[in-house]
Amino acid sequence: MLGAPLATLIEAASRHAFDAITFTSPMYESNRAAGCSDGQLRRRLADAGLRVHAIEPLISPLPGIPAPGDVPAGFRQYFEITEDDCYRAAHAAGAETINLAHFGGTPVPEAALVDCLGPLALRARQHGVQLTLEFLQGGAIEDFETACRIVRAVGSPDLAVMFDTWHFARTGGTLQQLADLPPGLIGALQISDYVEPAPGTVFAPMTGRLLPGEGELALVEMLRMLLRVEPQLTVGVEVFSEELQPLPADEVARRVALSAGRVLAQTRPRAATQSAAEPGDTQY
């Protein structure tokens, strides 16, 4: 729903019993330009029974990131987002976190990332939000272990790892890596499903994700292991899909809710006997 107005996202998420949403800084700015004040945004979220889990992505403060003018036009807006842009959106919507991604950048020493992220986490705390750090191929934080090392080295309670199941699969992650995680290391989850592509397939960014339960990943096992350590984590669904993109927002939300709900019902069987609006139910 990246191209949808924020009001449309809120309405669709509320109708299909989501508890929280994530959106980008440009979506917030477009909402402001359309005449919606920050107070109106907060009232709309409250009326819909939604909270804002995260503003994402924030890319530009990290070392080794190219200038926006050097980025292909289709991705440029994400490299133009500043730290202040994200704080402004987070304050307006009461967002809990801001997600960082070293996407499209050149390799840099882990020490340089640690030196950057320590002060960044302190600034985030002063703005009342926490940070999550995403790992992905095509940047300097290429796998789960690298992200964990960096977060541990920073040592801030305001910085944790964003665990994305699709990136975990693409970067060779194994269930064994999740066996003995300490509390506090994982700060957020994004789930989607994955099928190993045929050898020689050229990867295109922001493609190839499947709805939860429609691929080969052991999503239920992953989530059981992660939520055993961090039971209060919000489970987000991030699916970049050529099939879903042209559909109406309401239909996208319906399909995402059904697929994620089936997976999460197996993760927490008791959730199947509760209403989606009841306290203690699985959060999306």
Task: Read off the tokens for 54.
Answer: 């995260």
Q: Which of 62-76, 111-125, 270-284 has the highest mean pLDDT?
A: 111-125
Alpha-carbon span 134 to 114, nearest angstrom: 14
CA dihedral 192, 196, 202, 205 (to 10 degrees): 10
Instruction: For residue range 117-139, list pLDDT tens digits in order.
Output: 999 999 999 999 999 999 998 88
State residue 283's pLDDT score: 42
Indicate the burial class of 270 (C-beta count within 10 angstroms; 0-12, 13-18, 19 or more): exposed
Q: pLDDT by residue (tens digit) across 162-199?
A: 999 999 999 999 999 999 899 999 999 999 999 988 77
**Which two three-digit tokens encode residue 133?**
């750090």
Model-level pTM? Answer: 0.91
User: What is residue 276's predicted lDDT score, i.e. its pLDDT?
Assistant: 36
Task: Please give the pLDDT value at position 206.
Answer: 63
* Domain positions in the chain: 6-269
- Per DSSP, 271 falls in state G
Q: Which helix (H) or strand (E) holds 55?
A: strand 51-58
Residue 271 in this model has a pLDDT that exceeds 50: no
User: What number of residues does the chain have?
Assistant: 284
CATH number of 6-269: 3.20.20.150
DSSP summary character for residue 226:
H
- Is the pLDDT at 154 greater than 70? The verdict is yes
pLDDT of 100 above 70:
yes
pLDDT at 207: 67
pLDDT tens, residue by residue, 194-250: 998 877 777 666 667 999 999 999 999 999 999 999 999 999 999 999 899 899 999
Q: What would the mean pLDDT of 96-125 be, rounded to a whole number? A: 96
pLDDT at 278 over 80: no
* Rg (alpha carbons) of the chain, rounded to whole number: 18
> In this structure, what DSSP letter does residue 270 have?
G
pLDDT of residue 138: 81
* Close Cβ partners of 273 (under 8 Å, ≥ 6 residues apart): none
Confidence band for 269, pLDDT divided at 50, 70 and 90: low
pLDDT at residue 197, rounded to an integer:
81
